Chains A and B, each alone.
Chain A
Amino acid sequence: MDEFLQFVAEIFEVDVSAISPDTRYGEIPEWDSLMHLRLIGEIEERYEVELPLDDASDIQTLRDFYALTQA
């Protein structure tokens, strides 16, 4: 999880202390709809996973994202 948060923090361009598994979509200014799209793309590339559309649409928190990378 720590490594995942570090990866996300780099994409957000924030310090890792600014986010947690419970950070919600829209909760911090960096995580807007554009960043959401980019996050899906970057995470798919990095973790070599395919996030199905309906799962991706349901993502609320970074923990949800992380769960999808572990599938």
Chain B
Amino acid sequence: MRVALLSNVNLDLVGKALKVPSETWIPPGYGEWVVLTYEQGATALRDFGPDQVVVVLDGTALVDGVADAAVEDELGAHLAHVARLAAAFPHSRIVVSTLDFPARAIRPASAGRPEERWSSTWRQGLEGLAQRADNVHVLDLARLVSDVGRTGFYSPKMWYLGGQPYAMSATKLVAAAVDEALALPARTRKKVMVVDLDNTIWGGVVGEDGPAGLVIGPSGVGAAYRDVQRRLKELAATGVLLAAVSKNEQADAVAGLEDNAQMVLAPDDFVAILAGWGPKPEAIASLGERLNLGLASFVYLDDNPVEREAVRQALPDVTVLDFPRDIAALPQVVADAAAEHFWVDRLTAEDEAKGDQYRQEAARAEFRDAAGGMDDYLRQLDVRITIAEMSEAQRSRTAQLTQKTNQFNVLTRRHTAEELGRLATRPDHHTFTVAVTDRFGDAGQVAVVMVRVDGGTAHIENLLMSCRVMGRAIEDSVLAAVEWHLAEEGVHTVEAAYERSDRNTPVQDLFDRQGYERLTETDERVTYRREVGAPAPDRRDLHTVTWATS
């Protein structure tokens, strides 16, 4: 990964300590970052070709010599520099720091602390910019400083000697924070938070104490449980699926949530409440099957060490959280798990509707049990597929799909939104997005097909679909439609490949079923070819496909 590190102070030591970048570029002469945001000054940065540009700014140095009354304007000007940089490098991820401002001058107490206001002015401006510009991301340096404490963070001596504001130890912390920010896009987000109920999200045992006897409320130990539930509800609002696995009667488990007015979480906040007396690993494994999600996307929270160990042993893919000895620390355990396992940059419409979609999936399963033949069932679902060339607005969701999809993914090629934007400018490249609705609801964008056209031959360079819509022969309709679409451009042959990963066995014979011929074959990789229009006896044609013009 190629990373440019820009700053208004000396960041050479931070740059030296970075581990994530394969190559780090720091412009010669610190404080020169503003010049690079102008077209005339950007040549060197452009030549370097950064995948990511990190801008770490020191608040004090940024407004040095600027009168208090003029600082807000100065910050506005610097935000404009950042915005210009982001626009000049639309295909690079631009990571910009928040600003910390220690008190910079001796003033009477009545003058207040304008520095605190400046810090939030910058933060608001930056967050606004990150919402408008897809490639701008925030690195919370101000929070790092406040977590560490200013006294240990800054070193006046290093500043006077070498133009670096941080103490040696803080240099390493800044580098670690930058590394973490750089690595975020490659991280796979987990999808399901499974919690135990008794003594985990409330105090007490609902089957013995009754719903009204549970410990949860505005004060004392009850407040700790209330805060745990608040964090879990916030987590669910970011698209994480919440599930409960509890040794209880089903009616008691639901009553615990329903019949105590202090509960923050309601039964509807959970995609599933699995209560029973069987082993918990079995309940969790069956939940994975019901949701059609791999267990590696599950995180588990339980106060009982025996249950935690049982899950660890039986389901090594599941991430089991350590339960704190002191219940006061439990809300933070959930918050830390959110940062470590469920970090998300920005929410897509799909994330916000996700809980609903999985509840619809449960309704579909009931319908499937009632329906006759599988194909009849699929036809009755009234699946409508819309395919389109990826628009700019779809980049974020498309990138997310490439990063999160593991099972239905023939090549497992991950892309960032910035890379997709770059590919979109190539005339020989198509990124097709696939959206699906059915009679139960709108699943949104669920699949991606990336194709490179070389004369009469098209190469499928990525093909993946969300596991939410697997098993409905949607891929049959999509591939057929894409092949014919390419044929209109003069393509007569389509080449494809399957590359084995830990998780993608569900699609190991996908191309065989689609009428593709095997060309070469090893354990890791199979390559295929198909003449457009050749017979494909196993391919099913069950759904309506529409091409959207953007």
Interface residue B183 (Cβ < 8 Å from any Cβ of A): no
Binds A, one of B50-58, B164-172, B377-385: B164-172
Residues of B within 8 A of A40 (CB): 157-158, 161, 168
Which of A34, A45, A52 meets B13, CB within 8 Å?
A34
Interface residue B12 (Cβ < 8 Å from any Cβ of A): yes
Which of A33, A34, A36, A42 meets B168, CB within 8 Å?
A42
> A34-B13, A34-B162 in contact; A53/B168 too (CB < 8 A)?
no
> A41-B167, A41-B171 in contact; A53/B160 too (CB < 8 A)?
yes
**Looking across the interface, which residue of chain B has its beta carbon closest to that of A44?**
B168
Residues of B within 8 A of A34 (CB): 10, 12-13, 16, 162
Asked if A37 and B169 sit within 8 Å, CB to CB, the answer is: no
Chain B: residues with Cβ within 8 Å of the partner, total of 16
Sort chain A's interface into a size bin: 10 to 19
Asked if A53 and B161 sit within 8 Å, CB to CB, the answer is: yes
Residues of B within 8 A of A56 (CB): 157, 161
Interface residue A57 (Cβ < 8 Å from any Cβ of B): yes
Asked if A33 and B157 sit within 8 Å, CB to CB, the answer is: no
Asked if A37 and B162 sit within 8 Å, CB to CB, the answer is: yes
Asked if B158 and A41 sit within 8 Å, CB to CB, the answer is: yes
Residues of A within 8 A of B171 (CB): 41
Asked if A45 and B169 sit within 8 Å, CB to CB, the answer is: yes
Cα separation A36 to B160 with both chains bound (whole Å): 13
Asked if A53 and B169 sit within 8 Å, CB to CB, the answer is: no
**Looking across the interface, which residue of chain B has its beta carbon closest to that of A53?**
B157
Q: How far is the CB of B176 from chain A (nearest CB, A)?
A: 16
Q: How far is the CB of A20 from chain B (nearest CB, A)?
A: 24
Residues of A within 8 A of B164 (CB): 37
Asked if B13 and A57 sit within 8 Å, CB to CB, the answer is: no
Residues of A within 8 A of B167 (CB): 41
Q: How far is the CB of A48 from chain B (nearest CB, A)?
A: 12
- The contact string, 1 if C-beta is below 8 Å from chain B, for chain A 35-65, is 0111011101100000111001100000000
- The contact string, 1 if C-beta is below 8 Å from chain A, for chain B 7-44, is 00010110010000000000000000000000000000
Asked if B160 and A41 sit within 8 Å, CB to CB, the answer is: no
- The contact string, 1 if C-beta is below 8 Å from chain A, for chain B 145-185, is 00000000001111011101001110100000000000000
Cα separation A33 to B12 with both chains bound (whole Å): 11
Q: How far is the CB of A62 from chain B (nearest CB, A)?
A: 17
**Looking across the interface, which residue of chain A has its beta carbon closest to that of B168?**
A41
Q: How far is the CB of A70 from chain B (nearest CB, A)?
A: 19
**Looking across the interface, which residue of chain B has its beta carbon closest to that of A52?**
B157
Asked if A51 and B157 sit within 8 Å, CB to CB, the answer is: yes
Cα separation A51 to B158 with both chains bound (whole Å): 11
**Looking across the interface, which residue of chain A has its beta carbon closest to that of B164?**
A37
Residues of B within 8 A of A42 (CB): 168
**Looking across the interface, which residue of chain B has its beta carbon closest to that of A39?**
B168
**Looking across the interface, which residue of chain A has its beta carbon closest to that of B156?**
A53
Name, among A38, A41, A42, A53, the residue most crowded by chain B CB atoms within 10 Å (CB to CB): A41
Asked if A45 and B168 sit within 8 Å, CB to CB, the answer is: yes
Cα separation A16 to B202 with both chains bound (whole Å): 61
Asked if B160 and A37 sit within 8 Å, CB to CB, the answer is: no
Cα separation A41 to B10 with both chains bound (whole Å): 14
Residues of A within 8 A of B157 (CB): 40, 51-53, 56
Q: How far is the CB of A23 from chain B (nearest CB, A)?
A: 19
Cα separation A12 to B10 with both chains bound (whole Å): 19
Name, among B155, B162, B171, the residue most crowded by chain A CB atoms within 10 Å (CB to CB): B162
Residues of A within 8 A of B13 (CB): 34, 37-38, 41
Name, among A38, A52, A53, the residue most crowded by chain B CB atoms within 10 Å (CB to CB): A38
Residues of A within 8 A of B158 (CB): 37, 40-41
Cα separation A33 to B158 with both chains bound (whole Å): 12
Q: How far is the CB of A11 from chain B (nearest CB, A)?
A: 11
Q: How far is the CB of A12 from chain B (nearest CB, A)?
A: 13
**Looking across the interface, which residue of chain A has its beta carbon closest to that of B169?**
A45
Cα separation A38 to B155 with both chains bound (whole Å): 13
Cα separation A38 to B158 with both chains bound (whole Å): 9
Name, among A36, A37, A57, the residue most crowded by chain B CB atoms within 10 Å (CB to CB): A37
**Looking across the interface, which residue of chain B has its beta carbon closest to that of A46?**
B168
Q: How far is the CB of A52 from chain B (nearest CB, A)?
A: 8
**Looking across the interface, which residue of chain B has its beta carbon closest to that of A56?**
B161
Cα separation A45 to B170 with both chains bound (whole Å): 12
**Looking across the interface, which residue of chain A has its beta carbon closest to that of B170?**
A41
Q: How far is the CB of A67 from chain B (nearest CB, A)?
A: 18
Residues of A within 8 A of B12 (CB): 34
Cα separation A53 to B156 with both chains bound (whole Å): 9
Cα separation A64 to B61 with both chains bound (whole Å): 31
Q: How far is the CB of B454 from chain A (nearest CB, A)?
A: 47
Q: How far is the CB of A60 from chain B (nearest CB, A)?
A: 15
Residues of A within 8 A of B168 (CB): 38, 40-42, 44-45
Q: How far is the CB of A24 from chain B (nearest CB, A)?
A: 17
Residues of A within 8 A of B10 (CB): 34, 37
Cα separation A57 to B161 with both chains bound (whole Å): 7
Cα separation A45 to B12 with both chains bound (whole Å): 19
Cα separation A70 to B10 with both chains bound (whole Å): 29
Residues of B within 8 A of A44 (CB): 168
Residues of A within 8 A of B160 (CB): 53
- Residues of B at the A interface (CB closer than 8 Å) are 10, 12-13, 16, 155-158, 160-162, 164, 167-169, 171
Contacts A/B (CB < 8 Å), 13 sampled: A34-B13, A34-B162, A37-B10, A37-B161, A37-B164, A40-B157, A40-B161, A40-B168, A41-B13, A41-B155, A45-B168, A53-B157, A53-B161
List the 3 shortest-distance A-B pairs measured between CB atoms, nearest first.
A41-B168, A37-B162, A34-B12
Known: A38-B13, A41-B171, A56-B161. 5 other contacts (CB 8 A): A38-B168, A40-B168, A41-B168, A42-B168, A53-B161
